Structure 1
Amino acid sequence: MTDRLSLSNLSSLPAAVTPPPYDREAVRAGVVHLGIGAFHRAHQAAVFDAALADGDLRWGILGVSLRSPGVRDQMVPQDGLYSLVVRQGDEQRVRIIGATQDVLVAPESPVAVVEALASPDVHIVTLTVTEKGYRLDPATGALLEQEEDVASDLASLAAPRTAPGFLVAGLARRREAGLPPFTAISCDNLPHNGRRLRQAVLTMAERHDPALAEWIDRHGAFPQTMVDRIVPATTPDDIAALAIQLGVEDQAMVKAEPFSQWVIEDSFASERPDFARFGVQLTGDVAPWEEAKLRLLNGAHSGIAYLGGLAGIEFVHQFVARPEGRRFVERLWDEAQTTLDPPAGLDIAAYRGELMTRFSNSALQHRTRQIAMDGSQKLPQRLLATIAARRAAGLEVETLALAVAAWMRWQGGVDDAGATFTVDDPLAARTAAALAGCGSAAERVAALLAIDAIFPPALAADELVRSTLTRHLERLESTGALAVLA
C-alpha cells in the first residue's frame, strides 16, 4: 500500500514538486474558511499559502465542512497537506499547499466552529458554500426562513446549522469578548455576494439581538468579490496518476488551470494580508468585473453544460472543439456583451479570446455534468439577468434563450440518447412536479416559468421570451441538441 502524503515524507518528493517553504509550526490560523471544497483549495488557499511563503505567518487556515466529513478525512491524515496540480495542455506543475492547519466538520462539532470564529487570531472568514449554501431566495435575496436549518438557527444558535448562523454566533462571541468583527468574504458566484451575505447575517442577528445586528452593521465588513478559476472535480484516475509521480498518495489533491483571478472590494473590518502583493485586485467597485465574469464565463459554461450534457458531450473542451459548439458560445457572448459596462483594464474582446483558450484546455477534463449541478441557483445570475437586460433594451435573446431552454429540457432527466440521469438540484422535486402532466413544450415552458424562485415574474410574463423558449424547447425535444446547434 502506498503511503499517504504527510509532513514525514515531504522531503522525499521529486525535486520538481514545490513544498511549503515556511515553518508550519509557527503559523497562526488567521482565516476560517466555510465550505472547504476543491475550489477553495485551488484558489483562496493558494493566495494565503503565498502570504505564508512570503513570511507573513498570520494567515493559516482552519477549514470547516458544513456537511460531510469527506474533506476532513482526506486532509487530516495528510497533516492538512495537499497537491495543487496546474495543467495546461501537456504541461503540469505540482505545488504542495500547507496553509490549512486543521479541518472541522460542523455537524460533528458546531461549538468548536463557533469557538474558532471567536478566536483573537482570526481576522478573515471566507466562504465557498455554493449558491444554495447561503439559504437565500435566488430571486429576492431574502433569507429562506421556512427552511428547517434556517428556522433552527433563528430559534437558537447554541449549535448552528447554516453558514449565516455560524457567522452570527461567532460574531456574537467576539462582541462579548470585546474583539472586533472579522471580515466575511463570500467567494461564490452570487451577484452582489457581499451585500447578500451581509443581509443574511443581519437578518439572523436582528432576530436574536438587535444590538448585535447594529454592532455588525456598524463595524463589520462584507466586501463584494469576484473569483475565477476553473477547478474540475478530481477523479480516482487523477489520484492514481499523481501517486505514480509523487511516490505517495494524495487523496486531497485538486487540479486547476493556470489562470486565477480574485477581485475584492477594498473594505475590511480589521487586518488583512498584503493581497495585492499576491496578485489579488483590490477595487472600489467589483460589480463590473462580476457581471463580465458571470455573463460571459459562467453564462457560457451553463449553456455548454446543458446542451453538451443532452448531446452526450462529456467535457467542455470537446464542446468548443466542435464548430457548432464554438459558434454557439461566440453568439451567446455577442448577446451578453451588449449588457456589460466593462471596467477600465478589461478588454472584452481579449477576455473572450482568453476564455475560449481556457475552455479549450483539454488537460482539465472539465465535465459538463459537473457544471450542470444546482442550475436553479445559477440561472438567475448567469443567464436570466442578461436576458432581462437585453429585453429592457428591446433586444432579442435567441442564443441566451436556447441555453435556458436546454436547462428546461435537462429537468426531464433524459438525454438525447434516451439515457436517464438524476437532476442534481435543490429544486429538482419542484421542477419535476411542475412538469408532471404537461403535454406540450408550451405547457412545460409555462410551468417552469411559473417558478418564481427562479424566474422573475416580469421575465416570465415577457411574450417574446416565452415564445422563444417554447420554439427552442420544441426543437430540442424533436431533433436533439446537436441538430439545434448545427
Structure 2
Amino acid sequence: MKLNAQTLSQLDPRIAVPSYDRSQLKPGILHVGLGNFHRAHQAFYANQLLNTGGSPDWGILGAGVMPTDAAMRADLEAQDWLYSVTKQGAGTEEVEVSGVMCGFLPVEEGHGPIIEAMQNPDVRIVSLTVTEGGYYVSAETGGFNPEAPDIRADIASPDKPKTVFGAIVAGLKARRDAGQVPFTVMSCDNLPHNGNVTRSAVVGVARGQDGALADWIDANVAFPNAMVDRITPATTSERAAGLAEEYGLEDARPVFCEPFLQWVLEDNFTAGRPAFEEVGVQIVEDVTPYEHMKIRMLNGGHAIIAYPSALLGLTYAHEAMAHPLVSAFFDKVEREEIYNVVEAVPGATQPEYHAALQERFANPAIRDTIARLCFDGSNRQPKFIVPSVAENLAQGRSVPGLALESALWCRYCFGEGEQHQEIAANDPSWDRLTGLAREARDRPAAWLEMRDIYGDLAEKPDFRDAFAAALESLWSKGCEATLKAYLGL
C-alpha cells in the first residue's frame, strides 16, 4: 500500500500513525537538509512531541540547497509529506509514520523560496543538517573560511546566494528590515560546538556583505550548541523491500535507525522553542562535556573499529564487534586513551557509556557498513581522534593505540588491501590521501605533515615515533599481527 494521507487508516495495525490533526500544523521550524539522520532524530522528537499533545505551531517545513534534494521533495510530496521510521534492535522492530512535516520548499538556484519562507514570522527556528564538512571551515586556521569560492559568491551576490549560510543572512536581513524578531539558527550536525561554528559561518558571510548587518546578527541571533546521536544507516533497496514484504508498506523515503536516541541542547533561543524536554531532549546550559563524550568515544570509536575492519575484510560494524582483535582493540583504546580526556556526565560514567557503545555497535539489525565508518576521514579525524591525541600528550600520557589508529587509516588510504584488493575512493580528498599514504610507506612523517589534520603532532616525538612504528608493522607484519602485538597476544 502506498503511503499517503488517504491510506494512513488502512496501514498494518503494527505501524504507529500520527495521533494529531495534521491540518493544524504551522511551520514553526524551517529545516534545511532532510536526510535520514534529521528525519530519524530532530523530526522524530518533534513528531513524538505532537503525539503527546505538543503545540501544532512547531511543524517542520523542509528545504534543500542541493539539486538532488528536488527528487526527495517530489517523493515526499507524493506521500503528503509522510514517511516511515523503523527502529531496529537485536530481535526488535518498531515502525512509525511521521507526520510532522507540513511541506517542502521548491529547490531552486538562489534559494528564493527559502529566503521568502524565512520572512514568515511563524518560522522561529531555522535548523540545519548539512554534514560535518558543509560549514566552510578553514583547514589552516580551524575557523570560518571567507575565501571559499561559494562564500565569495554569496558575498558578491547577496540576493542569489549559493550556500545555506548566504540564504540565512538574506532571511535575517529581511527580518531585521521588517522589524521582526530574528529566528534562532540551530545546527543539528555532528561537529564540536556546532552552534559556534554556525555563528561563525553566518556572521562571516554577513561581514563580507554589510558590517552593520553582521553586528546585528552577532548581537541578536541565537545559535545554540547541541550534541546529537542516533546511528542511522543508509536506506538500501533491500531494507525498503523488507518493509513492503513484512508490513505491506510502500514508502519512497523510509528511514531505518537504532532504538537509541539522544539530543543534548543548550537553552538559547531568540523566539521560543518546542517543549522538547517533555520527550527526552536534555536541555542544558553547556553541552561541552556531553559533546566530548559522544564525539571522542562514539565517533572516535567508530574510527577505531573502521580501518582495521576494512583491512581485515569485514563488511559491517556488528561483524567488527564480533571479531576478537577488533573489539579488543576498541576496548583497550577507549579505556586507556579516551576515558582520560572525557568527563562523566549526568546519567553516564565513562564505563557506562562505553558499555552502551559496545551494545549499540554490535546491533546486527542496523548493518552499519564499515565503508560508511571509513568515509571522509580527512574531515573526521581532526574532530574525532586528533583532539584525544593532543590532550593525552599535553597531560604527559602516551598514545600507542591512537597512533595505531592513525597508522591504520594511513594504510587504508593506500588504496589497496592486504590481499591486493582495491580499496575504492572513500574521501573527498582521496587522491591527496592516496599519494601521501604511498609516500608514507617509506617516509611515515609524510602522513603526519598534513597540518590541516594533525596540526603540530608531527613535531611530538612520542606520537610521531609510535605512528611510524605502527605503520612499519602494518606493512611488514600485517594488520592481524600488529593488532595482536598491541594487545599483548
TM range (shorter): over 0.9
Alignment of 1:268-347 (within 5 A): 268-334=269-335, 335-347=337-349
Q: 257-266 or 135-144: which moved more?
A: 135-144
Q: For residues 66 and 74 of structure 1, what CA distance do their matches in structure 2 show?
A: 16
In structure 2, the CA distance between the partners of 1:38 and 1:480, relative to structure 1 (3 Å rule), is farther
Residue 106 of structure 1 and its aligned partner are, at CA, apart by 4.2
Q: Which moved more, 1:467-476 or 1:97-106?
A: 97-106
Find out whether 1:56 has 2:55 as its counterpart: yes
Stretch deviating more after TM superposition (268-277 or 51-60)? 51-60
**1:42-441 alignment runs, 5 A limit:** 42-53=40-51, 54-67=53-66, 68-69=68-69, 70-104=71-105, 106-108=107-109, 110-138=111-139, 140-334=141-335, 335-435=337-437, 438=439, 441=441
C-alpha contact (below 8 Å) 2:144/2:197 kept by paired residues: no
Q: Does 1:28 align with 2:26?
A: yes
**What's the CA shift string for 1:62-101, capped at 9, x where partnerless?**
2222221342243222111111100111210000011122
Q: How much does 1:178 deviate?
A: 1.5
Q: Distance in 2 between matches of 1:310 and 1:160?
A: 43
Q: Which runs of 4+ in 1 moved over 6 A?
A: none
Deviation per residue, 1:167-224 (Å, 9 max, x gap) = 2121112111211111111112211211111111111111111111111111111111
More divergent stretch after superposition (324-333 vs 413-422): 413-422
TM-score by length of 2: 0.94
Asked if structure 1 preserves the Cα contact closer than 8 Å seen for 2:195 and 2:224, the reply is: yes
Deviation of 1:105 (Å): 5.7
Asked if structure 1 preserves the Cα contact closer than 8 Å seen for 2:403 and 2:470, the reply is yes
The structure-2 alpha-carbon separation of the partners of 1:442 and 1:307, relative to structure 1 and needing over 3 Å to count, comes to same
CA positional deviation for 1:108: 4.3
Q: Which amino acid in 1 is paired with 2:412?
A: W
User: How many angstroms apart in 1 are the aligned matches of 2:9 and 2:354?
Assistant: 42
Q: Which moved more, 1:350-359 or 1:419-428?
A: 419-428
Q: Which amino acid aligns with 1:63?
A: G
Distance 1:105 1:321 in 2: 45
Structure 2 distance, partners of 1:231, 1:37, is 10
How far does residue 34 in structure 1 lie from its aligned partner after superposition? 1.5
Relative to structure 1, the CA distance from residue 150 to residue 339 in structure 2 (aligned partners, 3 Å threshold; closer, same or farther) is same
Conserved in 2, the CA contact under 8 Å of 1:31 and 1:59? yes
Q: Which runs of 5+ in 2 are unaligned?
A: 485-489
Deviation of the 1:139 alpha carbon: 5.8
2:474 to 470, 476, 482: 476
Give, in whole Å, the separation in 2 of the partners of 1:442 and 1:303.
24
Q: Distance in 1 between matches of 2:404 and 2:306?
A: 12
Task: Give the stretch that moved more between structures: 202-211 or 446-455.
Answer: 446-455
SS in 1 for 2:96: strand
Aligned length: 480
Amino acid across the alignment from 1:447: A
Cα separation, 1, equivalents of 2:332 and 2:169 = 44
- Write the distance in 2 (CA, Å) between the matches of 1:312 and 1:291: 30
Q: What residue number does 1:41 align with?
A: 39
Q: Report if aligned partners of 2:378, 2:427 keep a CA contact under 8 Å in 1.
A: yes
Deviations 1:125-155 (A, max 9, x none): 2211111111112563322333321221121
Distance 1:205 1:173, change over 3 A: same
Q: Provide, for residues 387-418 of structure 1, a one-character-per-residue CA deviation record: whole Å limited to 9, x for no partner.
A: 00000011111111111112112222222332
Matching residue's letter, 1:459: L
- Cα distance in 2 for residues equivalent to 1:285 and 1:139: 27
Native 8 Å contact 2:109 2:160 kept in 1: no
1:312–1:416 CA contact under 8 A, matched in 2: no
The answer to whether the Cα contact below 8 Å between 2:110 and 2:162 also exists between their aligned partners in 1 is no
Going from structure 1 to structure 2, the CA distance change for 1:222 and 1:341 (only over 3 Å counts) comes to same
- Of 52-61 and 422-431, more deviation after overlay is shown by 422-431
Question: In structure 1, the residue corresponding to 2:61 is in which secondary structure?
Answer: strand
* TM-score in terms of structure 1 length: 0.95
Q: Is the 1:51–1:59 contact (alpha carbons within 8 Å) kept by the matching residues of 2? A: no
Q: Once the two structures are superposed, what CA deviation does each residue of 1:284-337 show, in whole Å capped at 9, x if it has no partner? A: 110000001111111010121222122211111110111212111111111101
RMSD of Structure 2 on Structure 1 (CA):
1.7
How far 1:468 moved relative to its partner? Answer: 1.3
Amino acid at match of 2:441: A
Deviations 1:397-450 (A, max 9, x none): 1111111112112222222332223323232233234456x2x5252x322322
TM-superposition CA deviations, 1:13-68 (whole Å, max 9, x none): 11110011112121011111122111001000011112222241011112222221
Describe the superposition over 1:243-282 as per-residue Cα deviations: whole angstroms up to 9, x where unpaired. 1233231121111111100001111111101111111001
Identical pairs, percent: 38
**CA contact under 8 A between 1:107 and 1:161: conserved in structure 2?**
no
SS at match of 2:57: coil
| Structure 1 equivalent of residue 487 of structure 2 | none
Aligned equivalents of 1:163, 1:354: Cα separation in 2? 35
Q: What SS is found at the alignment partner of 1:258?
A: coil
Judge conservation of contact 2:87–2:95 (CA < 8 Å) in 1: yes
Whether contact under 8 Å (2:410, 2:437) holds in the other structure is no
**Change in 2 beyond 3 A, CA 1:252/1:259:** same
Q: Is the 8 A contact 2:415 2:434 kept in 1?
A: no
1:475 to 1:104, Cα distance in 2 relative to 1, 3 A = farther
Q: 1:306 to 1:66 in 2, by over 3 A?
A: farther
Give unpaired runs (5+ residues) of structure 1: none
Once the two structures are TM-superposed, the CA of residue 379 in structure 1 deviates from its matched residue by: 0.6
Contact 2:109/2:162 (8 A) holds in 1: no
User: CA 1:344–1:88 in structure 2 vs 1: closer, same or farther (change >3 Å)?
Assistant: closer
Distance in 1 of aligned mates of 2:308 and 2:252: 32
Helix, strand or coil for the counterpart of 2:185?
A: strand
Mapped partners of 2:273, 2:415: distance in 1: 46
* Secondary structure at the counterpart of residue 283 of structure 2: strand
